[in-house]
Amino acid sequence: MSENSFGYPLNTQNSEYCPIIAPNSRYLVFQSNRPGGMGGMDVWISENKNFRNRTEKPIWSDPMNFRELNTPDFEGPFTIRFDKNGLPLEIFFTSRKSPISGRDGLKGLNIYTIKNLTRKNPATDSWSKPEHILELNSHFDDKMPAISPDGKSLVFASNRPGGFGGFDLWISNRDLKINKWSSPINLGPKINSSANEIMPSYHYDGQTLFFSSDRLDENFKFSFYMADFDDDSLILTAEEEKKRLENDSPPVFPKVRTLKKLPQPLSSEHDDEGISLSHDGLWIYYASNRPGGEGQFDIYRAPVTEAMRKPYSFDLSGVILDGSEKTMIGLDSTIRIYNEKGLLRVITSKRIGGDIAIKSEDEPVNFRTRLLTGTRYKFEVSSPGFHPNEFSLDLTGTIGRNKSKYVKVILMPITEEPEDIKKPDNNSTDPEVPQYTRVILRDGDSKKFLVEGKVILYSDDQKGGYELSRDQEFFVLKEFPPGDFELTGSATGYTTETIVIKKENTELRDQKEIIVDLNRLSNKATIYQNVILFNFSESTIRPEEMPKLKATVAYLSKNKDRIEIGGHTDNIDSKEFNVKLSLKRAEVIKQYLVDHGISEDRIETRGYWYSQPVESNETPEGRAKNRRVTFKRLEK
C-alpha cells in the first residue's frame, strides 16, 4: 500500500478540505467550493464503491451536496459523531450569524450542530435544523470543532483571549444527560504555542488528538501533530469545573503524555490540515495543498505505519486441559511467551482442580497474562507427563482498547514408548512388514547414504519440528502424522531439501522407505548460494539485498537454468500465516526477475514457511537469518 492522490471526481481544481471517513470506510464527507454547490464552501459526501476491498484504491462516486446543512452563506470545517453501528449521530460545524442563512449567533465564527433524525443511510437521512451552541462560542472566531467518539468532549480552535498565540485549541465537556456544555478551557502550553493550532480531530480511541500547527516553520506552513493524553485527562466533570470556577482557581490543563510531529508523507513543506483515520487502522485521510494534486487543497490518503499504531493492554486468559479436553491438568504447567525480540516472560498455570470435569460452555481460568498490542506472540506450553503444545496470537493491526481473548490449550499425555524397533533380518524368510518407515538421506549424484545428516519432521502438531532418530544408515519414522507434514533433510556441505507428504497421498504413506536426495553446495553456481533476507513479517525487498538480485539477473541472462525460488520465515505466528508470507516473498523475487527480462516460464515458486530453518528460531538473530528467500536449480 502507498500514498494515494485521488483525482476526479473526488478532487477538482477547486479546494477539497476537511475529509472525514466513515467507520466502515464506505462514505467520505468533506468540504469543497466546487461548482454545483449552494455557495462558497459546502459539505459534500461521496461513496466508495470499492469499500469492501480495504487495501485497494477506492472508487469514488460523484460527490453529492449535503443540502440539509449547506446554505448560500459560509459552512466551515465540521466533525461527525458516529454511533456503534457506524451511522452518523450528530454533526458540529463552523458557520456564522447571517440573514442569508437565517442562523443566529455571536460575532465572528460560531459552532453549530445538527442531529440525525432517521439514522438509516448517510446519503438520504433526515436532519434537524442547525442549532447554535451558546456555551461554546464567544465574540471571537470559534471554529473547526472535533467531537470525541463518546460525545463527551469537543475540541475547537479559537482566537479568544486567554490563549498562548494566534489560534489555540480549547476543550469543553458535555453532560450527555442534559446536553449541556461546560465553559471551554485552553488545552495548555504543551499543545498550544505562540503560533497557530487548528483543525483538531480525534483518533477513534478518544485518547489521541491530531491537529495542525505552523509552529517552528519559517514559511508559516501547517504540519500535522499527534498528542497522546493520559486516560480520561481530556474529560472534566461538571463538579470539578464548578468547583474550579467557585474558587477562582486557574485552569488545570489536560495531561499530555506524548507530542510529536508526524513524518512524511503526512507532513510536507506545504500546508497539511485535517486528518481522519479509517477504523480498520489501515489508512489516514488528510488534506494538503502540496504539488501534484488537482488544484488547491486536495484529499489524500496514506497507510498507517506500525510505528504510528498505539499499543494497548490486551488480556489473555485460558485453561490448560489434558487430551480429553474435559478435565484440567492437575499439575502446574509452564507457559513461555515470545515476541519478535525473543523470550518475553515465563508464567505458570495454577493448579485448580486437576480432574474436575469441564463442560463445553464453561470458561474456567488457570492462567492469565497481560500483553501489549502491536506485535505477534508465540506461546509454548509444557507440563510433566504431557507432550508440549504451542499457539500464536497476532496483535498487530487494529486491535483497540480493553480487548481480551480466552483460549483452551490441549496437552496430550505421553504414553509408554513402544518396544525397540525391530531391524529387518536379511537371512529371515519371514515376510513380516516392518512397523515403521525408513527415511534415507543420499548424495544426489553418487546415491551414497549420508550418515552425518539429519531429518526433521514438521507438522501442525510439531510446529518447532522434531528430529527423527537414527538406526545405522537410515532414520526412523515411527508413524505418520494424521495431517499434512514435511520431512526436511540436511547435511554439512549439502543443500537442504524438503519432501511434502499430503494427507490424501495414500500411495506415499504406504511406502516403507522415503529417500531424500541432497545436492553438494560445491556443485552450485554462486547465485544458488545467495540468500535474500527480509524484515520481520514483511515481503518488501531490502535495499542492501539488491546487489545479490542484480547478480542473479546477470547469471540467468547468460545461463538458461530453470530455478525454484523458495520463501522462508521464522516461526512467529501460525503455519497458515507463514505459508502465505513465505510464498509472497518468493513471488516478490520472481516478479523482480521477470521485470528484468527473465522468462517466468523458467521460474517456480514455493513457500517453505518455517520448515527449513538455517538457525535456531529461539533467538532474534536466528529468526532474522531464517526470514529469507533461496534459489535452487531445477532439472530442465
List 512's β-bridge partners, or say none. Answer: none
The reported pLDDT for the residue numbered 235 is 52
Q: 561-617 pLDDT, tens per residue?
A: 889 999 999 887 777 788 889 999 999 999 999 989 999 989 999 998 888 888 888
Amino acid at 634: L
**Phi, psi angles (nearest 5°) of residue 565:** -100, 115
Q: Calculate the alpha carbon distances from 516 to 148, 262, 485, 497, 509 in Å.
A: 62, 54, 15, 7, 15
Candidate from 58-72, 295-309, 557-571, 601-615 with smallest mean pLDDT: 295-309
Q: Widest CA span of the chain, in angstroms?
A: 112
Q: 596 or 233: whose pLDDT is higher?
A: 596
Amino acid at 37: G
Q: Which residue has the cell 540468500?
A: 531
Q: Calculate the alpha carbon distances from 148 to 92, 168, 171, 332, 587 in Å.
A: 11, 18, 10, 46, 43
Amino acid at 176: L
The C-alpha R_g of the chain, in whole angstroms, comes to 32
Reported as a pLDDT band with limits 50, 70 and 90, residue 634 is confident
The reported pLDDT for the residue numbered 617 is 80
Reported as a pLDDT band with limits 50, 70 and 90, residue 351 is low
Q: Which domains does the chain have, with CATH numbers?
A: 4-308 (2.120.10.30), 313-411 (2.60.40.10), 437-521 (2.60.40.1120), 524-634 (3.30.1330.60)
Ranked by mean pLDDT, the top range of 158-172, 433-447, 557-571 is: 158-172
pLDDT of 32 higher than 70: yes
Calculated CA dihedral for residues 281, 285, 291, 296, nearest 10 degrees: 180
The reported pLDDT for the residue numbered 514 is 87
The reported pLDDT for the residue numbered 72 is 92
Which grid coordinates are listed for 243? Answer: 468547583
Give the whole-angstrom CA distance, residue 21 versus residue 541. Answer: 32
DSSP reduced 3-state for 400: coil
Residue whose C-alpha is closest to residue 423's, from 476, 386, 360: 476
The reported pLDDT for the residue numbered 156 is 98
Q: Which residue has the cell 533461496?
A: 630
Q: Calculate the alpha carbon distances from 501 to 186, 440, 508, 578 in Å.
A: 67, 15, 7, 18
What's the chain's length in residues? 636
pLDDT of 421 higher than 80: no
DSSP reduced 3-state for 77: coil
pLDDT of 416 higher than 80: no
Residue whose C-alpha is closest to residue 468's, from 436, 509, 494: 436
Ranked by mean pLDDT, the top range of 216-225, 408-417, 466-475 is: 216-225
Give the whole-angstrom CA distance, residue 611 versus residue 609. Answer: 6
Reported as a pLDDT band with limits 50, 70 and 90, residue 49 is very high
**Phi, psi angles (nearest 5°) of residue 72:** -65, -10
Positive or negative torsion for Cα 249, 209, 175, 103: positive
User: Are 409 and 392 in contact, with CB atoms under 8 Å apart?
Assistant: no
Candidate from 100-114, 395-409, 604-618 with smallest mean pLDDT: 395-409
Q: 127-157 pLDDT, tens per residue?
A: 999 999 999 999 999 999 999 999 999 999 9
Q: Which residue has the cell 467557585?
A: 246
Reported as a pLDDT band with limits 50, 70 and 90, residue 418 is very low
Residue whose C-alpha is closest to residue 376's, from 391, 393, 400, 389: 393
Give the whole-angstrom CA distance, residue 144 versus residue 47. Answer: 24
Q: 193-227 pLDDT, tens per residue?
A: 999 999 999 998 888 899 999 998 888 899 999 99
Mean pLDDT of 379-398: 84
The reported pLDDT for the residue numbered 427 is 52
Candidate from 177-181, 259-263, 480-484, 515-519 with smallest mean pLDDT: 480-484
Q: Calculate the alpha carbon distances from 216 to 161, 194, 579 in Å.
A: 22, 10, 48
Reported as a pLDDT band with limits 50, 70 and 90, residue 433 is very low
